[in-house]
Structure 1
Amino acid sequence: MEIDTNKTMQAYIHPVILSGGSGTRLWPLSRVAYPKQLLSLVGKETMLQATLARATSLPRTQAPILVCNAEHRFLIREQCEAIDITPAAIYLESVGRNTAPAIALAAFHLAQTDENAVMLVLPADHVIEDQAAFAEAVKTAAHAALENYLVTFGVVPHAPETGYGYIKAGEAISLASS
């Protein structure tokens, strides 16, 4: 299959920011009441704020949807307000159920509000230094999504890790620029 990357996008990108972590691995900096995504670890902004800014700066992007721990709701709201971002929705998890249910909840929300939505799921605690490369990767992924492909970004592992899953790459897709 060939995907025309110059095709005019027919859908908006809806960022879904996952911010439900409890901050147990970076103790004592990060803790249950104040996890790493709420900390300024890499720059002036917190990791959540950097993710929100990165996502909302992409072309054709709608207001983000956040899925977070109910205990962090006020901190999340304050961090959004501090950088002038108003989320489309903030879903609160009373109990963490991991990534898949959080994504399913956001997908259900989008199915009710925008049947042509392209959902961009982003953890709130990632560091992405090359913003231009990120934006280009999202643009390419959005075009593939419009062709009914499920797209995922991954990191090539350097060693086995049982705490994460692995992605088996499928057949390459040709990208055409007409």
Structure 2
Amino acid sequence: MSKIQPIILSGGAGTRLWPMSRRLYPKQLLPLCGPQTLLQQTLARVADRARFHPPLIIANEEHRFIIAEQMRQIGLCASAVILEPEGRNTAPAIALGALAAQDQDADAVALVMPSDHLIQNRAAFDEAVARAAAAVRDTQALATFGITPTAPETGYGYIARGTPVANHAGCYRVARFVEKPDRQTAQSYLAQGGYDWNSGMVLFRTRDYLAALARLEPEMAALCQSAHDAMAADGMFRRPGAAAWQAMPARSIDHAVMERHANTLVVPADLGWSDIGSWNALAQVTARDKNANSLIGDVIVCESHDSYLRADGPMLAAVGVRGLVVVATRDAVLVA
């Protein structure tokens, strides 16, 4: 079976993790969940060259040298880093990656991943990707990955499973996409079963995604083609045509394509996944001491419980606190 082309989205700002995550150093470029940054972990996830081509990275112009250095640190490289002049959300960014993939292989199958998510179960990830790739080759569908819910979260979109896909165990037609529900609705989804969190990862044949985009968002598709055709090379960096990009509408892949396309699949998986979308989410995937505290950096605690305490520079001391998030950097302190 032919290799899969990873497309890694690394243009996010990660503002909800201030004061560590900032415009010039967003969360995907930080070592929040271990010694490697989230981007480095994402690159390592698709490092098997027997199964994956070198990835295409879609990134912000301001981060290009940081990304290059982080790849050098772990001995991995990208086939290209496509630099957005400014963010236009995920639908056009993914189209740029799909067009670049087609330059190498007209029948390319692409795996799109955010660079700022955590996946702890690599074996489950590999299995889910293999299932999805086989299914999209047979059905020409656009596949998304559903995360098995563990709580009635209201910060995620949900995907309702439809009928199973014939001859592809573990794959389902998408019955519908659901915007972030209220808590009561989320609780009903868990009670009913058959609902998954929307992970933001998708897999498709590039020709099928580009055809769907051309049908559903013809202006965006035409501008993406123009931006791609005017792409300028600078070593491994690629800069799309600025005039077309400035005219580009900003839409997510869910709103532009996935929710409006009839042929979509969901592959549910228990990946040990988190979008690391808040300090509380980060605390949930960080090791805790006997008092349920997560302690990172130069931190001293006394009679403190259920807290996330992180020091990046100054020493942090906490006495008698409970249920707090405290993050101290060299120039700012967050207490929440």
Say whether the fold is shared (TM-score over 0.5): yes
User: Equivalent residue for 1:127?
Assistant: 118
Q: Work out whether 1:99 is the aligned partner of 2:90.
A: yes
User: Equivalent residue for 1:69?
Assistant: 60
For 1:94, the aligned partner's letter is P
Which is worse superposed, 101-110 or 52-61?
Answer: 52-61
User: Equivalent residue for 1:167?
Assistant: 159
The answer on whether the counterparts of 2:10 and 2:28 sit within 8 Å (CA) in structure 1 is yes
Map residues 21-60 of structure 1 onto 2, 5 A cutoff.
21-57=12-48, 59-60=50-51
User: Equivalent residue for 1:155?
Assistant: 147
CA deviation vs aligned residue, 1:44-75 (integer Å, no higher than 9, x gap): 11000000000123742100000001100000
Q: What residue ranges of structure 2 are gaps of 5+ in the alignment?
A: 170-336
For 2:46, the aligned partner's letter is A
The CA distance in 2 between the partners of 1:146 and 1:81, in whole Å, is 34
Offset, 1:176: 5.6
Secondary structure, in 3 states, of the residue corresponding to 1:144? Answer: helix
CA deviation vs aligned residue, 1:150-171 (integer Å, no higher than 9, x gap): 111133562444xx65434342
The answer on whether the counterparts of 2:131 and 2:168 sit within 8 Å (CA) in structure 1 is no
The CA distance in 2 between the partners of 1:76 and 1:29, in whole Å, is 17
The answer on whether the counterparts of 1:14 and 1:63 sit within 8 Å (CA) in structure 2 is yes
CA deviation vs aligned residue, 1:99-145 (integer Å, no higher than 9, x gap): 11111111111122201211000100111111001101111111112
The CA distance in 1 between the partners of 2:40 and 2:96, in whole Å, is 22
The answer on whether the counterparts of 1:14 and 1:119 sit within 8 Å (CA) in structure 2 is yes
Q: What residue ranges of structure 1 are gaps of 5+ in the alignment?
A: 1-8
The answer on whether the counterparts of 1:58 and 1:135 sit within 8 Å (CA) in structure 2 is no
The CA distance in 1 between the partners of 2:39 and 2:83, in whole Å, is 16
User: Equivalent residue for 2:76?
Assistant: 85
Question: Moved runs in structure 1, 4+ residues, more than 4 A?
Answer: none
For 1:152, the aligned partner's letter is T
Q: Percent identity?
A: 51
Higher alpha-carbon Rg = 2
User: Equivalent residue for 1:110?
Assistant: 101
The CA distance in 1 between the partners of 2:57 and 2:27, in whole Å, is 16
Q: CA RMSD in A?
A: 1.8
**What TM-score, normalized to structure 2?**
0.47
The CA distance in 2 between the partners of 1:35 and 1:58, in whole Å, is 28
When you count strand as a share of all residues, which structure comes out higher?
Answer: 2
For 1:118, the aligned partner's letter is V
Which is worse superposed, 124-133 or 167-176?
Answer: 167-176
